[in-house]
Structure 1
Amino acid sequence: MLTPEVAVDLIAESLNVTMLLVVLLVVPGLIMGLIVALFQAATQINEQTLSFLPRLLVTLIVVSVMGRWMVGYLMDYCVSVFERAARLVG
């Protein structure tokens, strides 16, 4: 039976999974953006592609390196949700 405690646990765990996956993708790009912004401020270069391209490359590298783990983690979470749903129903 779906009790409020079980629903809160499912929602909390889904938010934790979402935050972990988003942090893995966003934080490296954020750090690279900060480094590029400091470089642009120091050299007074205001080129838009200079700020976009390094962040894109870092994000692509993170996806290529961590992508398999991220997909596996998300699949494990989905399997656990379906197993819990089966226990709740039957």
Structure 2
Amino acid sequence: MNLDDFLLLGQDAIITAVLVSSPILVLGLVAGLAVSIFQAATQINDAALAFIPKILSAVVGLVFFGHFMIIRIATFTTNAYELIARIGVNP
């Protein structure tokens, strides 16, 4: 066990966090942009009009990308536990 293993684990953690969070964030961004354009075009400024589409897009994103997210998180967790086990065997 050396520093390279820890750096690899940290790098994998950051990549996993970005890959897992990006589908929901992108869908929320697109929904927010679409609502903002609609509000600017119609001059309707309602807080619920901006909030509800973002929540719906997040739910749709979880439905479509949830399986990918769970697989990615499970893979990272398995790799982290294997690294922990190697630390215990070879201190």
TM-score by length of 2: 0.90
Give the corresponding residue for 1:12.
11
Distance in 2 between the 1:13 and 1:39 partners? 39
Identity %: 29
Query: What displacement does 1:16 show?
Result: 0.5
Give the corresponding residue for 1:51.
50
Give the corresponding residue for 1:34.
33
Higher relative contact order (CA 8 A, sep 6+): 2
Query: What displacement does 1:69 show?
Result: 2.0
Distance in 2 between the 1:39 and 1:9 partners? 44
TM-score by length of 1: 0.91
Query: What displacement does 1:85 show?
Result: 1.9
Distance in 1 between the 2:16 and 2:71 partners? 12
Distance in 2 between the 1:33 and 1:6 partners? 40
Amino acid in structure 1 at the alignment position of 2:26: V
Q: Is the 8 A contact 2:20 2:72 kept in 1?
A: no
Give the corresponding residue for 1:80.
79
Please list every run of 5 or more consecutive structure 2 residues that lacks an aligned counterpart in the other structure: none
| Runs of 4+ off more than 3 Å | none
Give the corresponding residue for 1:60.
59
Please list every run of 5 or more consecutive structure 1 residues that lacks an aligned counterpart in the other structure: none
SS at match of 1:45: coil
